């Protein structure tokens, strides 16, 4: 009797355990798909940094009846006949829209490097140093300004590269191997897009080059990913080697253009010495009678990137032209009322408010709010079956808008230097971590509003949802106890306004014609 | 920004991360009330059995604290969280189904907070943690040499009782995942009333649901579900009965090793996926009142001496146990004591 009960109990327990093994996804669950359209005129669209789709030259390809090309085809068939299961898995993983995969790689590196340096034993802090990337602390600290900038440069290079690829594809019209040779089966959905130069190779090389510059310690990993990707382009039956070589030529060129801009965009001066930081703070105090203080122990001497506001914007000449109105004075009724709102949220935390605060927190160790919006974009991109050119256009404009909005937000943060709730409310405690920079306006609000506007433009059916999510992300920071209500509402307006400059550019690039 | 789960996390829960604490608590707490040892209240991880139709209830209060933690294998402090206190109230009941089969149920209430001042200004957490159930079966109970050998096995299951957030270290009150455990226990007690007990258990932990759908665990995870690592735990106890079997003293050594998981990253918050390891030593005393039948007291202290991705946690607890015979009251039988 005893034995039976015990055995039954254990059997039930084990059954329960084995029945709940979960498959935890490590990337967006999609495979190759048929594009919703081909954009045969895409080579005429206006690039962001390059002059035109024709400005990067590639060699005239060998004709498909030339001996050289026929040899390439034979080599391809030979390679495909020896394919391994790992290579097949790689083909499935990379898909025929690999810009999404490279975007995910960027998000993963952001999450890996979004680690704030802790204090030294003597209470000082050491900053990551690109000249000594191993550290400690390792370079970079991939905080939201760093993250949005890395994503913008990668996406812009990808987009410019694909405009160039589209130009040459339809200039030379060299068909894909699987079209030319009936013995070759394409791993993805067949289409009529010419295969020279390989758009996948453009994406692989441009992404790898940008990310290697942004995350120097990951050079080996990124090279390995590029090698695997380029090999899968070949083994998919979609490209011969000369398609890929032409693609990497374009990838190198657009990455160089983007990295040249990056090296001179002002980011290297964004994290100021303490003297500069102190003078910025003093200027705000003189102007408004308040200043934000870092309350960490030991105190961090300089806030995060005080001069990110001076980084060159993509679509706006003067950052001050989009600066929001001043926040309420600390003795105003609006401010005092908001203190009560914050206290009320903290004292009456609900499951739903807590869920939103955590869902949109995207704090240290994660892909940051810009990363979260890239993840959202990736999911809609595959849902709407965008082709690679449309994919990179979406990501480029979204990340340009996010970066511009971040620059504008940082301008407001350090111009107004407004205190955080924990500084102004005695004994106040939060459920989210208070970041190392001033309160007004909320970075989450501005980033999210800008991203949602671009996604609303690309996916008009989703516009309402996008804007609702942006507002949710904004108010989540108030629920978390780390922002005032007006940080969120004004920040949302700010992000929407800044995004219009990018959208004006998008509407004029030729894609909507 | 913060550390992680500590071994003292699940006092009272049927063998969770904190086997030892649980064990000592329950054991201690539940323990002693009665006269013959065989009737003492017990815990899922000790060698005691309660006779059929007896119930023992335990109520204990546990005060835990830490001001350093292991980030991977690096022991550090962190003024963002300063000193973290974790106080637990544990109600538990042990029921004698048969003389060789006991059932246990427990439900701790946990409250966490940082000392002031601290650099993070995070709110602590509080709430009912996990409801735990266990069945303990005594397979062997025999004379051996001049003493007695006992062998037992325990199966336990626990699961979150409320929707507390596990992804809020170090303030989260539990791991937020269901757990199934199997434990084997062997004890030899010499006629001098010295005894030695050893146990080994495997803990199968399920998944906990975070309130975000992306996290980093040596790579991206696009899901809210976090895999809480399984673990092995071992324990050795040296004890002695004194004063006509009314006072029991024990020294314990416990170790727990997760079978997978990641390290806490530099100056970053812990998360439920971390690979937890610790070694802990403890001392416990139980006293059975002679004057009030069925009533006992327990007190204990444990401290983690070595670890990985855990706080350097120490905890002290006191408790009260009361045992009674349900049937006796109704039928006036003489079963039990």
Round to whole Å and give the CA distance between B207 and B16. 14
Report the alpha-carbon distance of residue A357 to residue A481 in Å, rounded. 9
- B26-35, B98-107, B285-294: segment of lowest average pLDDT: B26-35
The answer, yes or no, to whether residue B27 has pLDDT greater than 60, is no
Tell me if B211 and A358 make a contact (CB, 8 A cut-off).
Answer: yes
Asked if B146 and B247 count as a contact pair (C-beta separation under 8 A), the reply is no
pLDDT at B51: 87
Domains A42-54+67-263 and A270-507 share a fold: yes
Contact B163 A351 (CB under 8 A): yes
Q: Taking a C-beta distance cutoff of 8 angstroms, is the pair A395, A374 a contact?
A: yes
Distances (CA, A) of B209 to A432, B204, B223, B229: 18, 16, 9, 14
Report how far residue A247's alpha carbon sits from residue A251's, in angstroms, rounded to the nearest whole number: 6
* Structure-block tokens of residue A498: 């800044």
- pLDDT for position A14: 61
What's the confidence (pLDDT) of residue B197?
A: 97
Q: What is the CATH topology of the domain spanning A270-507?
A: Vanadium-containing Chloroperoxidase; domain 2 (1.10.606)
User: Which of the residues A111, A125, A218, A346 would you substitute to probe the B interface, choosing the one with the greatest number of B C-beta atoms within 10 Å?
Assistant: A111
Looking at residue B25, what is its pLDDT?
Answer: 36
- So what's the pLDDT on residue A131? 95
pLDDT higher than threshold 70 for residue B33: no
In this predicted structure, what is the pLDDT of residue A121?
95
**Residue A21: predicted pLDDT:** 76
Q: Which residue of B101, B124, B216 is in closest CB contact with A2?
A: B101
State the pLDDT at residue B15. 32
B149: left (phi over 0), alpha (psi -120 to 50) or beta: beta
Could you tell me the residue ranges of all domains in chain B?
7-331
Test B227 with A362 for CB contact under 8 angstroms: no
**DSSP 3-state of B235:** strand
Give me the residue from B80, B204, B222 closest to A17, CB to CB.
Answer: B204
DSSP B11: T
Nearest CB to A13: which of B119, B157, B227? Answer: B157
Q: What percent of chain A lies above the pLDDT cut of 90?
A: 95
Q: Cα A237–A242–A248 angle (5° rounding)?
A: 100
CA B244 to chain centroid, in Å, comes to: 28
By the 8 A CB rule, do A358 and B210 touch? yes
For the ranges B69-78, B264-273, B320-329, the lowest mean pLDDT is seen at B320-329
pLDDT bin (cut points 50, 70, 90) of residue B293 is confident
For chain A, the domains span 42-54+67-263, 270-507
What is the distance in angstroms between the Cα of A370 and the nearest Cα belonging to chain B?
13
Helix or strand run (H / E) with residue B148: strand B147-160
Segment A413-438 shows an average pLDDT of: 98
Predicted local confidence at residue A4, as pLDDT: 63
Q: Is A426 exposed, middle or buried (0-12, 13-18, 19+ CB in 10 A)?
A: exposed
What is the pLDDT averaged over residues B230-247? 95
Closest alpha carbon to B120 in A228, A125, A71, A420: A420
Q: Is residue A510 pLDDT above 80, yes or no?
A: yes
* CB nearest to A28's CB, from B123, B216, B222: B222
State yes or no: pLDDT of A19 exceeds 70.
Answer: no
What are the structure tokens assigned to A55, written together?
Answer: 């400005």
Q: Are strands B84-98 and B109-114 parallel, antiparallel or unpaired?
A: antiparallel
A255 or A15: which leads in pLDDT: A255
Say if residue B151's pLDDT is above 70.
Answer: yes
Q: Does domain B7-331 have CATH number 2.40.160.40?
A: yes
Region A399-424 average pLDDT: 98
Interface test with A, best of B104, B157, B222 (most A CBs within 10 A): B222
Tell me how close the Cα of A431 comes to any Cα of chain B, in angstroms: 6
pLDDT digits (tens, 9 = 90+) for A92-114: 999 999 999 999 999 999 999 99
Q: Using 50, 70 and 90 to split pLDDT, how confident is the model at B290?
A: confident
Place of tokens 């804007």: A467
Q: How far apart are CA A238 and CA B225, in angstroms?
A: 37
Q: Which residue of A has its CA nearest to B162?
A: A351
* Angstrom distance (rounded) from CA B307 to CA B74: 9
**pLDDT reported for residue B292:** 85
Residue A340 half-sphere exposure, CB side, CA atoms within 13 Å?
5
pLDDT tier for residue B334 given thresholds of 50, 70 and 90: very low
Q: Where are the alpha helices (DSSP H) in A20-143?
A: 67-81, 85-94, 99-113
A340-380 pLDDT tens trace: 999 999 999 999 999 999 999 999 999 999 999 999 999 99
Confidence of residue B336 (pLDDT cuts 50, 70, 90): very low
pLDDT digits (tens, 9 = 90+) for A53-73: 999 999 999 999 999 999 999
Mean pLDDT computed over every residue of chain B: 86
The more confident residue out of A259 and B4 is A259
And the tokens for A122? 């003597």
| Contact (CB, 8 A) for B302 and B285 | no
Going by pLDDT thresholds of 50, 70 and 90, the confidence category of residue B46 is: confident
Q: How would DSSP label each residue in B104-127?
A: EEE--EEEEEE-SS-SS-B--EEE
Is ipTM over 0.90?
A: yes
What's the rounded Cα separation, in Å, for the pair A226 and A209? Answer: 10
Please give the residue of chain A at the shortest CA–CA distance from B204: A17
As given in the structure block, the two tokens for residue A290 are 């308040």
Which residues 31-60 in chain B show a CB within 8 A of chain A? none
Token digits of residue A293: 């203080």
Give chain A's mean pLDDT. Answer: 96
Q: Is the peptide bond before A136 cis (omega within 30 degrees of 0)?
A: yes
Burial classification of residue A365, based on how many CB atoms lie within 10 Å of its CB (0-12 exposed, 13-18 middle, 19 or more buried): buried
Phi, psi of A465 (to 5 degrees): -65, -45
| Rg of the Cα atoms in chain B | 20
pLDDT in tens, A123-171: 999 999 999 999 999 999 999 999 999 999 999 999 999 999 999 999 9
User: What fold is seen in the domain A42-54+67-263?
Assistant: Vanadium-containing Chloroperoxidase; domain 2 (1.10.606)
Under the banding of pLDDT at 50, 70 and 90, the label for residue A22 is: confident
């Amino acid at each position: 009797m005893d034995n039976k009960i015990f055995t039954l109990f254990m059997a039930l327990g084990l059954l329960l355990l084995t029945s709940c093994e979960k498959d935890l996804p490590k990337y967006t669950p999609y495979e190759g798909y048929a594009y919703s359209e081909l954009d045969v005129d895409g080579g005429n669209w206006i690039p962001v940094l390059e002059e035109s789709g024709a400005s990067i030259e590639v060699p005239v390809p060998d004709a498909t009846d030339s001996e050289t090309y026929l040899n390439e085809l034979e080599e391809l068939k030979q390679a495909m006949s020896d394919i391994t299961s790992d290579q097949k898995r790689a083909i499935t993983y990379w898909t025929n829209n690999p810009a999404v995969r490279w975007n995910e790689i960027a998000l993963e590196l952001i999450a890996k490097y979004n680690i704030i340096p802790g204090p030294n034993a003597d209470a000082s802090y050491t900053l990551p140093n690109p000249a000594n990337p191993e550290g400690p602390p390792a370079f970079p600290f991939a905080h939201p300004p760093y993250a949005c900038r890395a994503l913008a440069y990668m996406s812009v290079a990808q987009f410019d590269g694909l405009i160039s690829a589209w130009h040459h594809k339809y200039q030379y019209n060299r068909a894909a191997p699987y079209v030319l040779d009936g013995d070759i089966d394409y791993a993805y959905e067949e289409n009529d897009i010419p295969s020279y130069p390989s758009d996948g190779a453009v994406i692989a090389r441009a992404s790898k080059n940008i990310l290697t510059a942004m995350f120097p310690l990951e050079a080996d990993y990124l090279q390995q990913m590029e090698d695997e990707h380029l090999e899968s382009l070949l083994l998919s039956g979609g490209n011969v080697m000369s398609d890929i070589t032409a693609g990497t030529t374009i990838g190198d060129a657009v990455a160089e253009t983007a990295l040249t801009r990056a090296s001179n965009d002002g980011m290297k001066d964004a994290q100021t010495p303490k003297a500069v930081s102190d003078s910025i703070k003093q200027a705000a105090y003189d102007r408004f009678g308040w200043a934000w203080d870092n309350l960490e122990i030991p105190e961090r001497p300089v806030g995060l990137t005080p001069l990110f506001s001076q980084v060159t914007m993509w679509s706006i000449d003067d950052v001050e032209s989009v600066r929001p109105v001043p926040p309420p004075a600390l003795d105003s009724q609006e401010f005092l009322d908001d203190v009560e709102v914050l206290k009320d949220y903290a004292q009456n935390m609900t499951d739903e408010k807590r869920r939103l605060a955590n869902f949109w927190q995207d704090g240290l160790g994660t892909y940051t709010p810009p990363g979260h919006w890239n993840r959202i974009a990736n999911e809609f991109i595959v849902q709407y079956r965008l082709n690679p050119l449309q994919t990179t256009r979406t990501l480029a404009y979204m990340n340009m808008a996010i970066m511009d909005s971040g620059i504008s937000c940082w301008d407001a943060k350090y111009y107004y230097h407004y205190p955080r709730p924990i500084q102004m409310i005695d004994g106040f405690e939060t459920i989210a971590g208070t970041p190392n920079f001033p309160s007004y306006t909320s970075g989450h609000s501005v980033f999210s509003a800008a991203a949602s506007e671009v996604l609303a433009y690309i996916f008009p059916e989703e516009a309402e949802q996008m804007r609702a999510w942006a507002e949710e992300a904004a108010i989540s920071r108030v629920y978390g106890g780390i922002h005032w209500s007006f940080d969120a509402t004004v920040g949302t307006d700010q992000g929407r306004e800044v995004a219009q400059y990018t959208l004006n550019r998008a509407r004029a690039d030729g894609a909507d014609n | 920004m913060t550390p992680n789960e500590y071994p003292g996390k699940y006092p009272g829960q049927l063998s969770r991360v904190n086997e030892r604490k649980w064990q000592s608590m329950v054991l201690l707490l539940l323990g002693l009330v009665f006269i013959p040892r065989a009737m003492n209240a017990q815990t899922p991880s000790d060698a005691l059995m309660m006779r059929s139709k007896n119930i023992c209830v335990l109520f204990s209060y546990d005060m835990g604290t830490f001001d350093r933690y292991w980030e991977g294998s690096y022991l550090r402090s962190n003024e963002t969280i300063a000193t973290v206190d974790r106080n637990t109230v544990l109600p538990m009941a042990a029921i004698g189904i048969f003389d060789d089969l006991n059932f246990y149920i427990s439900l701790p209430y946990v409250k966490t907070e940082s000392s002031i001042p601290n650099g993070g200004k995070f709110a602590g957490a509080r709430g009912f943690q996990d409801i735990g159930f266990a069945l303990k079966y005594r397979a062997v109970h025999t004379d051996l040499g001049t003493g007695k050998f006992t062998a037992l096995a325990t199966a336990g299951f626990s699961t979150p009782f409320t929707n507390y957030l596990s992804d809020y270290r170090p303030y989260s009150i539990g791991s937020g995942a269901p757990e199934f455990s199997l434990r084997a226990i062997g004890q030899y007690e010499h006629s001098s009333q010295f005894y030695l007990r050893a146990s080994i258990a495997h803990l199968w932990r399920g998944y906990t649901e975070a309130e975000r759908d992306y996290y980093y665990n040596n790579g991206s995870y696009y899901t809210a579900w976090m895999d809480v690592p399984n673990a092995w735990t071992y324990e050795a106890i040296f004890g002695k009965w004194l004063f006509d079997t009314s006072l029991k003293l024990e020294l314990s050594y416990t170790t727990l090793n997760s079978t997978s998981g990641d390290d806490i990253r530099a100056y970053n918050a812990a998360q439920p996926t971390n690979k937890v390891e610790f070694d802990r030593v403890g001392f416990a005393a139980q006293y059975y009142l002679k004057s009030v039948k069925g009533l006992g007291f327990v007190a204990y202290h444990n401290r983690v001496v070595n670890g990985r991705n855990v706080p350097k946690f120490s905890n002290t607890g006191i408790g009260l146990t009361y045992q009674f015979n349900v049937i006796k009251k109704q039928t006036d039988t003489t079963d039990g004591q």
